[in-house]
Amino acid sequence: MIKIVFATNNNNKLREAQSILKDLPYQFIGLNEFPNIPEIKETGKTLLENSLIKARTVHEITGFPTVADDTGLEVNSLNGAPGVKSARYAGGNATYEDNLNKLLKDLEGVPFGKRQAQFRTVISFVTDSEEHWVEGIVKGIILNESRGESGFGYDPIFYLPELKKTFAQLSMEEKNKISHRGLALEKFRILLGKYNLT
């Protein structure tokens, strides 16, 4: 079976992708199969640039078709911040909690009606001859305090008005069905399905 590298060290991400893409005739392998690949610096100014940097670098080193993703939380009233800096919003060694608290602080005093945000995932795909990308977006509101215990990152303050719940109040299966990453992976599944890798 033809192998495709998913440029991540995160086994949860790899498993989620393997599950969504399981009907395609490809074997998805993670970076743990390539221990010699050095850490790739995400120096891009956009999610697309970062996902392309990862996909191109890993493709160049491994020779396999490679897919890579990058995600950010974009808050309208902060002009799209934290965006590409979502993982390090409160600084280089920031924890999920530090980042969430900084966002709450930055939005202090901003009324509910002006707290719109979106999670956006960009997935890039690089082969010997082609480059493609797709994106998945989910829109919500940033609450002024945490609600729910599941998930990670900004999940406890990302509120979905239609469901009247935060991402952290959903099970993993419920979240994956509607999430930015789930939607991007679904688009990627359709893209790959049309593609004939040999």
Kindly list the residues in this chain that would bind ligand IMP in the complex (CB under 6 A). Answer: 70-73, 86-87, 96, 99, 151-155, 167, 179
CB of 6 to ligand IMP, least distance (A): 12
Residues 6+ apart with CB under 8 A from 22: none
Nearest to 179 by CA among 46, 56, 24, 12: 12
Which residue's entry shows tokens 């935060």? Answer: 166
DSSP for 157-179 reads GEEETTTTEEGGGS-HHHHHHHS
- In the complex, minimum distance from the CB of residue 30 to ligand IMP, in angstroms, rounded to a whole number: 14
Nearer to ligand IMP, 12 or 27 (CB): 12
Residue 73 near residue 47 (C-beta atoms within 8 A)? no
Q: Which is nearer to ligand IMP, 8 or 64 (CB)?
A: 8
Tell me the C-alpha distance between 166 and 154, whole Å. Answer: 10
* Of 49 and 195, CB closest to ligand IMP: 49
Catalytic residue among 70, 106, 128, 155: 70
Active site residue 69: no
- Enumerate the active-site residues: 70
